[in-house]
Structure 1
Amino acid sequence: MTKLEICCYGIDCALTAEQAGADRIELCSAPKEGGLTPSAGVLRKVKQLISIPVHPIIRPRGGDFYYSEREFATMLEDIAFVRELGYPGLVIGMLDEDGHIDILRMQQVMDASRGMAVTFHRAFDMCHNPVLALEQLTDLGIARILTSGQQQNAESGLSLLRELKQHSRAPIIMAGAGVRLSNLQKFVEQEIDEVHSSAGQNVASEMRYRKAGVAMSADAEADEFNRYCVDGDVVAAMKALLAAAETAA
């Protein structure tokens, strides 16, 4: 059956995803940045409370995937920490200045992550040559590639997703970006082995007092009293659709 990974931004979302039947969790912080490394406290608490596989993202900042020496050193420290905590896998990705896989650094990542399943994230969708990148990541021993097929969303990238799946000798091709209940059947029909979704909804703050005219975000128009959370009903519905598809196959 197609596996369902849910992107979670915090402990409460992770608990919701597990209870709703998610197969795996990608654990992140900072949704508006597209996902950054979670804090030490979150990593410790999630490891204590969640029983399904959780793969934290290792990403020190938003923006591109070409990192300085200091940023890369930080990433290696974070890898050591999540490995020490006993996480079974992690999510990471890096490119060189010409948009190719940074082979030398990824080799160091694989050495530092020995014994863990490494997912190469959507940095893949920014790379110069996806077929070459697939070959390189295969040789590195990457467990899976999270990709939208180099499009803004995975539904638009289905053609490349199919091609990558046909070419892949080892890494699982996991479709992500815009995967939701309404289009999940399309990925099932293309026999995509794994899908990645935030399965989320915007949730209003429970605070009664709301200070007007002050924003914590650099975006002055941001709503400080609204946040993105995993919708357990959506996760459960996605799992039910996947189970039904497996039964019908």
Structure 2
Amino acid sequence: MPLLEICCYGIDCAVTAQQAGADRIELCAAPKEGGLTPSAGVLRKVKERVSIPVHPIIRPRGGDFCYTDAEFDTMLEDIAFVRELGYPGLVIGMLDGEGHIDMPRMKRVMEQAQGMAVTFHRAFDMCHNPHQGLEQLTDLGVARILTSGQQQNAETGLSLLRELKQHSRAPIIMAGAGVRLSNLKKFVEAGIDEMHSSAGQSVPSPMRYRKAGVSMSADAEADEFNRYCVDGDVVAAMKTVLVASH
């Protein structure tokens, strides 16, 4: 049966996803950045309260996936920390300046993450040659690749997802970006084994008082009185579709 991974930004989302039937969680901070490494406090508390597999993302900043030496050293420290906490896997990805998989650094990542399942995230969708990238990640021993098929969303990239699935000797090809209840069956029918979804909704802040003219965001258009949360009903409905497809 295809597995459902839910992207969760914080402990409340992770607990909701688990209760709704998610098979695995990708744990992140900073949804507007596309996911950054969670804080030490979040990592500890999620480990205490969530029993399904949780894979934290290791990403020190938003933007591209070509990191400085200092950023990479930070990532190695974060890998060591989540490994010490007992997490079974992690999510990471890095490219060189030419858009190829950064093999020297990924080899060090695999050494540091020894015993953990490593997912190479959507940095893969920015790489120069996806077929070469698949071969390189296979050689590294990466457990899975999270990809939209190098398109803005996975439904548009379905043809490449099928190709990668057919040619993959080892890494699981996990569809992500725009995977939702309305199109889930398309991925099942294409033979994709794992689905990654935010299954999210915007939830209004409980604050009744709203200070006018003051913002904490550099984005003047940002709505700071709404936040992303996992929609448990959507997770449960997606899981029902996957169970019925088996």
Aligned to 1:164: 164
Aligned to 1:149: 149
Superposition pairs of residues 1-249 of structure 1, within 5 angstroms? 1-246=1-246
Alignment partners' CA distance in 1, 2:150 and 2:127: 8
Could you report, residue by residue, the CA deviation over 1:159-212 in whole angstroms, capped at 9, with x for unpaired residues? 000000000000000000000000001001001000000000000011111111
Alignment partners' CA distance in 1, 2:213 and 2:221: 10
CA displacement at 1:213 relative to structure 2: 1.3
Residue correspondences, number = 246
CA displacement at 1:220 relative to structure 2: 1.0
Which letter does structure 2 place at the counterpart of 1:181? L
Q: Percent identity?
A: 83
Alignment partners' CA distance in 2, 1:168 and 1:191: 13
Alignment partners' CA distance in 2, 1:163 and 1:215: 46
Alignment partners' CA distance in 2, 1:221 and 1:160: 36
Q: Secondary structure at the match of 1:118?
A: strand
The normalised TM-score by structure 2 is 1.00
Which letter does structure 1 place at the counterpart of 2:222? A
CA displacement at 1:242 relative to structure 2: 0.5
Alignment partners' CA distance in 2, 1:30 and 1:73: 21
The normalised TM-score by structure 1 is 0.98
Q: Secondary structure at the match of 1:36?
A: coil
Alignment partners' CA distance in 2, 1:223 and 1:136: 41
> Which structure 2 residue ranges, 5 or more long, are not aligned?
none
Q: Secondary structure at the match of 1:174?
A: strand
Q: Secondary structure at the match of 1:135?
A: helix
Q: Secondary structure at the match of 2:216?
A: coil
CA displacement at 1:43 relative to structure 2: 0.3
Q: Secondary structure at the match of 1:182?
A: helix
Alignment partners' CA distance in 2, 1:217 and 1:176: 28
Alignment partners' CA distance in 1, 2:228 and 2:179: 16
Alignment partners' CA distance in 2, 1:190 and 1:21: 23
Could you report, residue by residue, the CA deviation over 1:139-176 in whole angstroms, capped at 9, with x for unpaired residues? 00000000000000000000000000000000000000
Could you report, residue by residue, the CA deviation over 1:32-91 in whole angstroms, capped at 9, with x for unpaired residues? 000000000000000000000000000000000000000000000000000000000000
CA RMSD between the two structures? 0.4
> Which structure 1 residue ranges, 5 or more long, are not aligned?
none
Runs (4+) off by over 2 Å = none
